[in-house]
Amino acid sequence: MESMGLNRVPVITIDGPSASGKGTVAHLVAKELGFHYLDSGALYRLVALKALQSGVMSTDEKKLALVAINLDVVFRDEEIYLEKKQVTEKIRTEECGNMASQLASYPAVREALISRQRAFRKLPGLVTDGRDMGSVIFPDALLKIFLTASPEVRAQRRYKQLIEKGLNANIAELQKDIQERDARDSKRGVAPLQKNADARLLDTTSLSILQAQNRVLEWFRECCADESV
Residues within the annotated binding site for ATP? Answer: 16-24
Give just the sign of the alpha carbon dihedral 226, 135, 147, 48: positive
Would you report the helix, strand and coil content of the chain in percent, each value rounded to 5?
50, 15, 35
With CA atoms as reference, report the closest residue to 118 among 138, 103, 132: 138
Residue type, 111: E
Name the strand (E) or helix (H) holding 31.
Answer: helix 22-33
For residue 197, with 0-12 CB atoms within 10 Å meaning exposed, 13-18 middle and 19 or more buried, which class applies? Answer: exposed
Do 90 and 96 meet the contact criterion of CB atoms below 8 Å apart?
yes
Alpha carbon distance 202, 216 (integer Å): 9
